[in-house]
Amino acid sequence: MKQKILPILIMTIILTGCGSQKTVVKKYYTLEQPEKVSKPFVEDSVLFNARCEVGDVNVYPAYSSRRIVCRDDSHQIRYFGEHEWAVPPSTVLTPMIIDFLSAKNLFLRVSDRFWEHTPEYRLNTTVFEIEVGTAEGKKDFTTHLTLKFELIDTRSGTSILTHISNRKSTLEKRNLNLMAESISDLFYEELENFAQQIRETLSAQR
């Protein structure tokens, strides 16, 4: 009798253990243009009769995948297990730049590829850090974005404008959705600053 009961008990324990395991659901976050978008520099026209090619955004390797980086110390990071970017930053940032600059009416055309014309300018972007961490001595989340924009004159091959930014922002609470919103805001604020610099620089060269 005992020999029959023992296998039943073992099977019951196994099934109970399997039933108690919680299903882990991953959450995904997007980088998106903020609701408050800046207006174009001019309406129904463009500022400069030139084309601008946007190169693929170069994101440093530790940040280029879908894994979200959390910085614990000066040289120590970790990745969230159940939270990821919906699209890798290295993939999504390039079309975001193209759409933004196209809407600003800065150039005749903005694209990542030109087949029939040689663009007069090329925009290169490097993202050095895109992460979340904790403020020193606090438990609050802090977003951190370090990047560089560079405008190249393709006719001479020279750099005519460089913009480097190292931004941080403290979140109201430890929430990764707020983190994604904050980094999106920081990115577009710096892109707006760079667009203004392009306008001033190219206007001065006329």
pTM higher than 0.75: yes
Domain ranges in the chain? 28-204
* Dihedral sign, Cα of residue 56, residue 57, residue 61, residue 64: negative
Secondary structure (3-state) at 125: strand
- State residue 34 phi and psi, 5-degree precision: -60, 160
Judge: domain 28-204, CATH 3.40.50.10610.
Answer: yes
Q: What is the pLDDT of residues 98-137, one digit of tens each?
A: 999 999 999 999 999 998 889 999 999 999 999 999 876 6
Q: How many residues does the chain have?
A: 206
Distances (CA, A) of 150 to 78, 86, 88, 120, 203: 30, 27, 22, 14, 17
Q: What is the pLDDT of residues 154-184, one digit of tens each?
A: 999 999 999 999 999 999 889 999 999 999 9
d(CA 162, CA 99): 20
